[in-house]
Amino acid sequence: MVGAGLSTLIWDLRWLQSIAHHPAKLWKSPKGNKKSQAIDVDRRSWPRISTPPNALRSSPPYYSLEKPLPSIPHHLEQSSLTEVEISHLPPQAIRVPLSKFAIMPSILSSSETFPARTPLPTTTVSTFPPLISWRLGTFLLVIFSLSFLTILLLRGLLPGMVPRAFSLFSSLYLAGTIIFGGGPVVIPLLREYIVTPGWVSPRDFLLGLALIQAFPGPNFNFAVYLGALAAKGTSVPSFVGALIALFAIFTPGLVIVLGFLGLWQNLQKRAWFQAILRGVNAGAVGLVFTAVHKLWQIGLVGGHGAAGGGQPLGGDPWLVFITAAAFVSGKWFGVNAPVAILMGGTGGIARWAIFIR
């Protein structure tokens, strides 16, 4: 995510383009510069002719197109002044003949034919004051950073000496901090932090994942289920393990959001900050695709023991058909997610009744 944000920042601020154009300026031909300088000198040497604002109204209301343009005054025509000297002469009012398509001064002065234009209604955008001050936001971010570093140090220095309750809290606290991209991204990380140490079996993990996907709500609720199972076999009750997992997985995101709310009024106007956000969003989408691919590789619930660790869904044509049907019905036919889940469950029952029973 840091790489995605920095790459967008470098691209939007055109740092690489400026570095690439710098050598080109050194090798640029000097002839073009002399030519442009000569053109500028010629333009500066043109005579300056200014017309007072009341010259148009003091002129007759209409001139014919056949009338010739005013000639150069006699005293200037006979003189030997150069163009540079002419440009320093005092300005003189010169009457320019009007075109037959021009508006007459009488029409311009009439207020009955063309009434005054009414001003357009203006809309005022109300800016809401920040919920918290930038000082409080900075304080929350500093406290959270210190707590995060403390938990990481204890997790690294005392790997086998802390109770499972603290290990569960530290693992889910870490998962809630480094997760970007939403719920699907957290599933592979929870599998690594909860299933790999042996706290929850792979089969229970996949069954709970299927159960969580069938109900509304964020995928972070899956951590509550895992916390209750991870507390089994310890002195900590299951509901306490669920509460520990709930607090650990949701606290980092809440604190970080509250901290940035105090700084948002200043950061949202910065171009570099918007560039970083665009890169982070793009990187999060990539992580979502990666998480979906990992779920595809372990989505098939096997039997008990080692086979329950999950198998690729691509090995079963029936499940591939159910996945494709859910995708097509939701993408092009507007089928709601609950209906697609019910269709998938019906397809699973049909598979069990035809092939397994």
Would the pLDDT of 301 be above 70? yes
Tokens of 22: 């710098």
Token pair listed for 240: 């306490």
Q: From residue 201, give the alpha-carbon distance in Å to each of 33, 90, 123, 149, 303.
A: 75, 96, 60, 30, 12
Residue 300 forms beta bridges with which residues? 311
Query: Hey, which residues does 311 pair with through a beta bridge?
Result: 300
- pLDDT tens column, 22-61: 665 555 555 545 544 544 444 455 444 444 444 444 444 4
Q: Taking 50 as the threshold, does the pLDDT of residue 137 lie above it?
A: yes
- The DSSP output letter for 314 is G
Query: Over the stretch 241-297, which tens digit does the pLDDT of each residue have?
Result: 999 999 999 999 999 988 888 888 778 888 888 888 888 888 888 888 888 888 888
Burial 282-315 (b: 16+ CB within 10 A, else e): ebbeebbeebeebbeebbebeeeeeebbbbebee
Per-residue pLDDT reduced to its tens digit, 198-212: 999 988 998 898 888
pLDDT for position 99: 47
CB-based contact 300:310 (threshold 8 Å): yes
Q: Is this structure's pTM higher than 0.75? A: no
Instruction: Judge whether 283 and 165 are in contact, CB under 8 Å.
Output: no
Question: Of all helices (H) and strands (E), which one includes residue 244?
Answer: helix 238-267
CA distance 255 to 141: 7
Distance (Å, rounded) from C-alpha 75 to C-alpha 44?
Answer: 23
- The whole-number average pLDDT for the span 213-242 is 89
